[in-house]
Amino acid sequence: MTQKNPQVLYNSQNRQELLKTALEYARSPLQEDQDVLLRFLRTEGFLTRLDSPQDYQQMEPRHLRLARIIKALMDNGSQAAQRTLLALTQSPTFTEDEGRVELLIEALVVIRPAPPEAIRFWDQYSQPDCPEVHMVMDALADNGSEPAISLFEKKMTTPGFEPEELVAWMRDPVLRHRNDPLMLKACQRLLVGGLPEEIRADLVEALCDYRPDHWYAADLKPQPPPRSSATKEARDLLRAICNYALEHVTLSPRQRAAVEAALKELDLLDGRK
Amino acid sequence: MPVLRIRVSFLEVYVLDDADAWGTGEWFMRATVDGRNVGDPEHEFEAREHRTFQLEPRERWTCDVDVSAKGPGDTVLVTFRGTERDPVGSDEDLGEVRMLLRHPFRQEVDHWYQSSIVDGKRHYNVRIAVTIVEEHATTSLAGFDDLRVSRGHASATTFTATTAGTAVTPRVEICPVIPVPEWRRLPPRPAFPPTVASGTDTPEAARVPPAAGRPWNALPNPAVIPIISPTDPEFENKAARIAVTHYIPRNLDLSYLFWRVASGPVRLSGPTTGTTVVKAYGTGSGASDEEALIELRWRDASGPLLGTYRAWVGRVKRIHYRANIVSGPTNNSRVTNVTPDDVAMHIDCCKMYFWQAGIELVPDDAANGTWDGAVPVPGRPGIFTIRLTAHAGWTRRVNLNVFPLPVTRLNFRPGVLNMVYVHSTRQRCAAAVDRPGLRALSAQPWAVTRGADDVLARLAGSPSTSWVQPSGYMGDGTPGEIQMLLIFESRRGTNASDRAYARTRTPHLTQNDWDRLYAFVVPSIWSSLPGSDPLFSYNVAHETGHVLGLRHRGNGGYPNNPPYPASYPLSNDEVNNPAVNGLVRHGHPFLENIMTYDVLLSQDFDLIQAMVIRSHPLANTAP
């Protein structure tokens, strides 16, 4: 078992030793241990001893050694570890590298409800033309707390995003969370107003249908949750969305059929004939 | 007892892609053979995705087993298990490979085996070789004098070994899939008397590691024999190489092998007797592709048939390409992992992949026009760099599910394959995003439609494509018609962004131009594999296959992220093997086709795939 020795974090040039020691601190629920770790995570010297500049250039951020430490903080569950993650959002050194920003965007998902620091950080990196915006939209939906879904909804109506980007979010983060009541409520509001009219049918479609071959170019295709796992609240919300869509949204025959099929599915689940 | 001693070697481990992984792994590998520990279970390996680590020293990971005392029903169990040792938390099981070697231990192997799935993930492949070290064969088939052809009845092709008087038909395979799949995935091999020596693979059965500078015909047993002139200065490097991949017994006198063309516009070049490899080239106008059959016989044209090889014969088709390396507006967003030299190397590595389908990738000349600030790379025709002044998201974390993607229209020329290298993608993988022209394939004579959307290719004949079973090969059952589902077509040019862009281009783009935008996106940050690694070329070959209409084969489409759909592990393109040799029904080939998901082994295009991609407009219409 590696010991928690801060001298290793100060001096060691051995990347594996550094990683193992830093992991000890990252796993600790104690605030004083987290304080030690945070001090090092804010220094360029430690970060480049852990992963070389070449590693940063060549590898997915998730494959850096640093990613193991961030993952350990995510899995820690203690408030002290969560404070470390939130403090990193304020560190100019840590956030100087976009790869590290990406790690943080994903790491903050585990803090629920999302605190204001996390919301500010996500908001900063989800402006139009921010390359991280797609990661942020995934993170917001995955977090799923009220502040996060509220920001998600706001982004869906923020000028500057292309309609194709909005549709892609409907078919990924929205689709993956289409059983979540908070997400469904946000979709309900977006349908009634806020969302450009020409893509409202796409939102309805993402809630009711699943066409992986047509919707996704990448091989890793987002998967919707089974409808049968939706709660009664979620089912009622979806039913209301479907009924609204049939009345007020211009649907193609295929989309209309998908909405009607979803209603039938809900009827079956609710024991209606 | 003919096989007395076997050797089991654990050679290397390939770390699979794991979309959920965070950081590197400290892996420990434990191996056993027949109950004995092999290797060093305390050695720590740093595991990084898409990278291979060697199990060394080799002698430590090798074990000889005396099987002389084993009899019918006896087995040798080989196990290999990985563990990720967490310095703080609990260790994680990475899964296991188990092989049961059965008496009489006559099957040699040198293959990559997939680890078992643990908690929904497959973590690695391990390469294991089993070789026969000592064998006592009492029936010699070493020379013609020891072997005669029985002509006791019409069409007889039975060899009789004079020493034992036992009827023995040598098994000679000319497998169309390279690298050759594990024997269990091939048509069943006939049983031999225990006194006959075991079989062996030829060098041509092995994987051909991608590398720049390899000859066009580096991959033997291609789906297409190209029509080329014997006076072509590169004839030796371009003529198809048709090769024996396995034969039983291993002491078969190969000097009696005799190759001949049975049908089709093909000629053989160079020695045709006493060789396991023969060169072939197509003749004629090549107005349309024709089938050819090459035979391998014993001694001469009238000798017993040992094997057949089926291929298309056709003219070389050219696909023009542009490779655009797109960098971002800030230093952090720059493409730093892939250089023009890397891209040139990727394309050069792909040469052998496409030549087996009679296709040549040809650089598009910058003189045909450049747009969007694209700068031709000196000395690297067809390769351009583009430095964005805005829209960092067009190169960093490109969301491949946004359609249409603005970045693929940059510096595209209609009718030219656009290879778009970006910094990274949201999905951390490559994708063929612009695939027009596929609906036109439904007019091909081989095409059939199913429902409103599906287009399938059909191919009958023997031996079957990729030896899908029954293959028709040397005693295997008569093959049925193989059907292969094609990928969906995509169309663009109608959204506001594309329409606005069309007006900025000189000349303005028409819908017909958009309908000839063929493109895929490759992230320069791909797992932990640097762009300088030749394995990166797999992305280019695989995505080009998608653009040309192909879906995933074998394990493709279901990377290591279960839950799998109910159909797994059937092929996404619906080309599957029935249950054979103790395996469940599965996609075929499972690992060795370019459209599968095995970066190391994915090297093959087969007959039905070649038929489709050679029919694609990109390969038949000048830009």
**pTM of the prediction?**
0.93
Instruction: Please tell me the distance from the alpha carbon of residue B394 to that of residue B326, in angstroms, as a whole number.
Output: 8
- The tally of CA atoms less than 13 A away on the side-chain side of residue B602 is 23
Specify whether A122 is located in the same domain as A253: yes
Residue B485 pLDDT: 96
Specify whether A90 is located in the same domain as A116: no
Q: Is the ipTM of this complex over 0.90?
A: yes
Specify whether B59 is located in the same domain as B43: yes
Is A107 domain-assigned? no
Is A231 domain-assigned? yes
Beta carbons of A168 and B401 less than 8 Å apart: yes
pLDDT band at B46 (very low <50, low <70, confident <90, very high): confident
Residue B317 pLDDT: 98
Instruction: Please tell me the distance from the alpha carbon of residue B447 to that of residue A11, in angstroms, as a whole number.
Output: 67
Beta carbons of A162 and B488 less than 8 Å apart: no
Distance from the A182 Cα atom to the nearest Cα atom in chain B, whole angstroms: 24
* Cα–chain center distance at B490: 26
Beta carbons of B19 and A220 less than 8 Å apart: yes
Is A103 domain-assigned? no
Instruction: Indicate the residue among A42, A61, A96 that finishes a domain.
Output: A96
Average pLDDT of span B437-443: 91
CB B243 within 8 A of CB B206: no
Beta carbons of B400 and A133 less than 8 Å apart: no
Specify whether A118 is located in the same domain as A92: no
Instruction: Indicate the residue among B315, B331, B346 that finishes a domain.
Output: B315
Instruction: Please tell me the distance from the alpha carbon of residue B367 to that of residue B74, in angstroms, as a whole number.
Output: 69
Is B623 domain-assigned? no
Specify whether A199 is located in the same domain as A142: yes
pLDDT digits (tens, 9 = 90+) for A228-244: 999 999 999 999 999 99
Suggest the residue from A18, A63, A76 to mutate for an interface test with chain B (most B CBs closer than 10 A).
A63
The CATH number of whichever domain residue B399 belongs to comes to 3.40.390
Packing angle between helix A98-107 and helix A133-143, nearest 10 degrees? Answer: 20
Mean pLDDT over each residue of chain B, to the nearest integer:
89
DSSP state of B232: -
B118 vs B269: which has the higher pLDDT: B269
Residue B28 pLDDT: 94
**Per-residue CA distances from B154 to A254, B38, B171, B196, B336 (Å):** 63, 54, 20, 26, 68
Tell me which chain B residue has its CA closest to the CA of residue A171.
B401
pLDDT band at B452 (very low <50, low <70, confident <90, very high): confident
Closest CB to A58: pick one of B24, B332, B337.
B337
Mean pLDDT over each residue of chain A, to the nearest integer:
95
Distance from the B332 Cα atom to the nearest Cα atom in chain A, whole angstroms: 7
Instruction: Indicate the residue among A64, A96, A128 that finishes a domain.
Output: A96
**Per-residue CA distances from A4 to A14, A20, A23, A76, B390 (Å):** 15, 9, 9, 16, 45
Specify whether B118 is located in the same domain as B199: no
A66 vs B556: which has the higher pLDDT: A66
pLDDT digits (tens, 9 = 90+) for B367-403: 999 999 999 999 999 999 999 988 889 999 999 999 9
Is A139 domain-assigned? yes
Is residue B202 exposed (0-12), middle (13-18) or buried (19+ Cβ within 10 Å)? Answer: buried
Specify whether A56 is located in the same domain as A157: no
Q: Which range marks the domain in which residue B148 is found?
A: 137-315
Specify whether B605 is located in the same domain as B461: yes
Specify whether B294 is located in the same domain as B164: yes
Specify whether B94 is located in the same domain as B118: yes
CB B143 within 8 A of CB B190: no
Specify whether B41 is located in the same domain as B159: no
- Whether the CB of B21 is below 8 Å from some CB of chain A: the reply is yes
Q: Which residues contact B226 (CB under 8 A, 6 or more apart)?
A: B238, B239, B240, B281, B282, B314, B315, B316, B355, B358
Instruction: Indicate the residue among A41, A69, A96 that finishes a domain.
Output: A96
Residue A194 pLDDT: 86
CA-based nearest residue to A255, from A272, A241, A268: A241
Secondary structure string (H, E, C) spanning A81-120: HHHHHHHHCCCCCHHHCHHHHHHHHHHHHHCCCCCHHHHH
Q: Is the dihedral of CA A85, A90, A93, A94 positive or negative?
A: positive
CA-based nearest residue to A242, from A201, A270, A273: A201
Instruction: Please tell me the distance from the alpha carbon of residue B387 to that of residue A7, in angstroms, as a whole number.
Output: 44
Specify whether A177 is located in the same domain as A252: yes
Closest CB to B393: pick one of A60, A67, A133.
A133
Closest CB to A70: pick one of B22, B49, B404.
B22
Q: Is residue B202's pLDDT more than 80?
A: yes
A2 vs B490: which has the higher pLDDT: B490
Q: Is residue B615's pLDDT more than 90?
A: yes
Suggest the residue from B15, B24, B44, B420 to mutate for an interface test with chain A (most A CBs closer than 10 A).
B24
Specify whether B185 is located in the same domain as B271: yes
Q: Is the dihedral of CA A159, A165, A166, A169 positive or negative?
A: negative
CB B125 within 8 A of CB B600: yes
Distance from the B22 Cα atom to the nearest Cα atom in chain A, whole angstroms: 5
pLDDT band at B561 (very low <50, low <70, confident <90, very high): low
Specify whether B596 is located in the same domain as B475: yes
Specify whether B215 is located in the same domain as B267: yes
Specify whether A67 is located in the same domain as A142: no
Specify whether B559 is located in the same domain as B526: no
- The tally of CA atoms less than 13 A away on the side-chain side of residue B66 is 2
The CATH number of whichever domain residue B131 belongs to comes to 2.60.40.150
3-state SS assignment for residue B476? coil
Residues in chain A with CB shorter than 8 Å from the CB of B559 are 219-220
Specify whether A269 is located in the same domain as A162: yes
Specify whether A51 is located in the same domain as A151: no
Specify whether B98 is located in the same domain as B190: no
Instruction: Please tell me the distance from the alpha carbon of residue B398 to that of residue B316, in angstroms, as a whole number.
Output: 35
DSSP output for B176-212:
SSSSPPPGGGSSPPPP--TTB---EE-GGGS-----T
Specify whether B205 is located in the same domain as B276: yes
Q: Is residue B146's pLDDT more than 50?
A: no
Distance from the B481 Cα atom to the nearest Cα atom in chain A, whole angstroms: 25
Instruction: Indicate the residue among B549, B573, B600 that finishes a domain.
Output: B549
pLDDT digits (tens, 9 = 90+) for A253-264: 999 999 999 999
Q: Which range marks the domain in which residue A141 is found?
A: 112-273
Specify whether A133 is located in the same domain as A88: no
Q: Which residues is B296 bridged to in the sheet?
A: B259, B307
Specify whether A158 is located in the same domain as A244: yes
Specify whether A129 is located in the same domain as A260: yes
Question: What are the tokens at B570?
Answer: 């059937």
Give me the number of domains chain B comprises.
4
Distance from the B507 Cα atom to the nearest Cα atom in chain A, whole angstroms: 25
Is B163 domain-assigned? yes
Give me the number of domains chain A comprises.
2
